Amino acid sequence: MRKRIVRTAGLVACSGLSGSVLANGWNMPVGVTDVSREIHSLHMIIFWICVVIGIVVFGAMFYSLFRYRRSRGAKAANFHEHTTVEVIWTLIPILILVAMAIPATATLKTMYDASEADLDVMITGQQWRWRYSYLGEEVAFTSNMATSRSQVSGESAKGENYLLEVDEPLVLPVDRKVRLLMTSDDVIHSWWVPDLAVKQDAVPGFVNENWVRINEPGIYRGQCAELCGRDHAFMPVVVEAVEPERFDAWLAERKEAAAQEALGVDREWELDELMERGEQVYSSICASCHQPDGSGSPPAFPALAGNQAILDDPDYHIDTVVNGVSGTAMPAFRSTLNPVELAAVITYERNAWGNETGDAIQPADIAELLDDE
């Protein structure tokens, strides 16, 4: 009977270790930065130190367990203390640890030196997406998980990068030092890409600093590492590292697009245009809490469909979206969204799911409001 159990357990263990596991790795990735390599080698050194200590300690233990069994006639000896031995096995571990601390300290110092960066990127965590902004370049966007809910629920097949794919990746140049500044709009998140060996908490009210210099172009995937509420599992990070020239071209293109959008602020917008743009913004930003059909999940997230408080009072509605509601999960979107996006999403909320105010909130009015405050 016991044999059968052992056999089954063995089978389970073996099948677990077969196939995709070996292919996908079960160790820390070496990664694509100098720092990630250093960290990986620290990890391997301390691992082997543990293995060696383990062999010695468990070897001595199992030797005793077999050699000194009473069933084999072992008689207990009588020794029970030895100061020299105690001193030795206190000192040896200390020496090993000092030896380990030296390279660890050096690596840590490197990791903490974010000076002389070529590019600054501000990373803001929000329930449950990342917002990237290239400081001084007027380029900013949010990055949402692209995996569909139907894959999560099992209604459709799971793709290769299930849960680790986004609508817009963070694009970074290789071979340049990029300073990553982290903060959060709501709870604590943690931005993590294993191949870059960057994991840094994004803490509301603080700006943390980290940096990366990527050696190889490629797509690197990670996810939020700090429990941040309901959709913590669904806020992936994707970094696309490209050659510096391609990066510069990409950045110029994005700047141009941003400038175009800024021009749009001054003109008069039709209801239909606003609805179209608003729907995009709503589904990428608002729907995760207030639901795609505006039904919310009360009490934490109020419904917007048929919500008289906002429908009766456009100013209140605008204020809620622009400035958030302090003490609740509703963030202020004044710095996350531009005036066009704000006007469009508010218009959308006032005219979707049976809300029929007919209001077309104008980007220019929102821009004026932002300037006044």
Closer residue to other proteins in complex, CB, 39/367: 39
Q: How far is CA 191 from CA 68, 113, 138, 143, 164, in A?
A: 53, 18, 22, 12, 13
Least Cα distance to 347 among 247, 288, 273 occurs for 273
Residue 152 touching other proteins (CB under 8 A): yes
CB 239 within 8 A of CB 196: yes
Residue 373 touching other proteins (CB under 8 A): no
CB 151 within 8 A of CB 162: yes
Residue from 158, 248, 312, 313 binding other proteins (CB under 8 A): 158
Q: How far is CA 15 from CA 8, 10, 24, 307, in A?
A: 11, 9, 15, 54
Among positions 314-333, residues that touch other proteins (CB under 8 A) are: 326-329
Residue from 104, 303, 364, 370 binding other proteins (CB under 8 A): 104
Closer residue to other proteins in complex, CB, 232/255: 232
Q: How far is the CB of 186 from other proteins (least distance, A)?
A: 7
Q: Is the peptide bond before 250 cis (omega within 30 degrees of 0)?
A: no
What character string, x for contact with other proteins (CB under 8 A) and - otherwise, covers 246-265? Answer: --------------------
Closer residue to other proteins in complex, CB, 62/316: 62
H-helix or E-strand spanning residue 111: helix 83-111
Residue 7 touching other proteins (CB under 8 A): no
Q: Give the interface segment with other proteins, choosing from 51-59, 270-278, 333-341, 365-373 (CB under 8 A).
A: 51-59
Closer residue to other proteins in complex, CB, 34/359: 34
Among positions 337-356, residues that touch other proteins (CB under 8 A) are: none
Q: Give the interface segment with other proteins, choosing from 134-142, 158-166, 255-263, 270-278 (CB under 8 A).
A: 158-166
Tokens of 329: 């999960």
Residue 111 touching other proteins (CB under 8 A): yes
Size of the site for other proteins (CB under 8 A): 112
Closer residue to other proteins in complex, CB, 92/257: 92
Q: How far is the CB of 127 from other proteins (least distance, A)?
A: 8
Give the total residue count for the chain.
Answer: 373
Phi-psi region of 358 (alpha: psi -120 to 50; beta: other; left: phi over 0): left
Closer residue to other proteins in complex, CB, 193/361: 193
CB 123 within 8 A of CB 130: yes
CB 210 within 8 A of CB 279: no
Among positions 166-225, residues that touch other proteins (CB under 8 A) are: 182, 186-188, 190, 192, 194, 197-201, 203-206, 208-209, 222-225
What 3-state DSSP class applies to 360? coil
Residue from 108, 122, 303, 305 binding other proteins (CB under 8 A): 108
Among positions 290-309, residues that touch other proteins (CB under 8 A) are: 299-300
Residue 76 touching other proteins (CB under 8 A): yes
Closer residue to other proteins in complex, CB, 63/316: 63
Tokens of 258: 């941003």
Q: Which residue has the tokens 């003490």?
A: 327
CB-based contacts of 231, cutoff 8 Å, min separation 6: 127, 128, 288
Q: Is the peptide bond before 244 cis (omega within 30 degrees of 0)?
A: no
Q: Give the interface segment with other proteins, choosing from 2-10, 242-250, 252-260, 309-317 (CB under 8 A).
A: 2-10
H-helix or E-strand spanning residue 190: strand 189-193
Tokens of 136: 């001084």
Q: Give the interface segment with other proteins, choosing from 66-74, 244-252, 277-285, 302-310 (CB under 8 A).
A: 66-74
CB 295 within 8 A of CB 305: yes
Q: Give the interface segment with other proteins, choosing from 63-71, 134-142, 242-250, 285-293 (CB under 8 A).
A: 63-71
Q: Give the interface segment with other proteins, choosing from 44-52, 258-266, 272-280, 365-373 (CB under 8 A).
A: 44-52
Instruction: Quickly count: other Cβ atoms within 10 Å of residue 181's Cβ.
Output: 20
